[in-house]
Amino acid sequence: MRRLILIGRSEAGKTTLTQALRGERIHYNKTQSIGYGEDFLIDTPGEYLQTATLGHALALYAYEADVVGLLMNAGEPYSLYPPNITCMVNREVIGIVTQCNEGNPDRAENWLRLAGCEKIFRVDSVTGEGVGALIDYLNEPGHPVYH
């Protein structure tokens, strides 16, 4: 399975998605630091995206992954991702709309496309909707593995 790094603002659903992808019980757990597991996931604190001085570190941590996942909650009133930000790393970058049954998932998807994401997944970590499709995608053969 390809290694995935999850990037998004605080409360975008990174840790909840991490728990869903691992098949764990969903519970609130604030990520305080970069979370490397022995598995295929790297969880990042939202403050790294929200703080200019820490944001550059995300590009460096992305090199530890095979796929970069930019998360956006469907209820977001604005996007923190600048247009074409995906060119900052030489990894595949996918968009992940979280809490896809709430808010405005179409708008969130459009913002992720503007950021440069071509492949978009809509997930609801609590119900499990879309989580299996994301796992299947990470398991697809024929993609480069960097680690």
Give the H/E segment covering residue 72.
strand 67-73
Gap between the Cα atoms of 42 and 44, Å rounded: 7
* The model's pTM: 0.88
In order of start, what are the domains of the chain with their CATH numbers? Answer: 4-139 (3.40.50.300)
pLDDT tens-digit readout, 30-84? 655 566 666 788 888 777 778 877 777 777 788 889 999 999 999 999 999 889 9
Selected residue with higher pLDDT from 139 and 89: 139
Please give the angle made by the CA atoms of 40, 41 and 43, to the nearest 5 degrees. Answer: 170
CB atoms within 10 A of CB 106: 12
pLDDT tens-digit readout, 97-124? 999 999 999 999 999 999 999 999 999 9
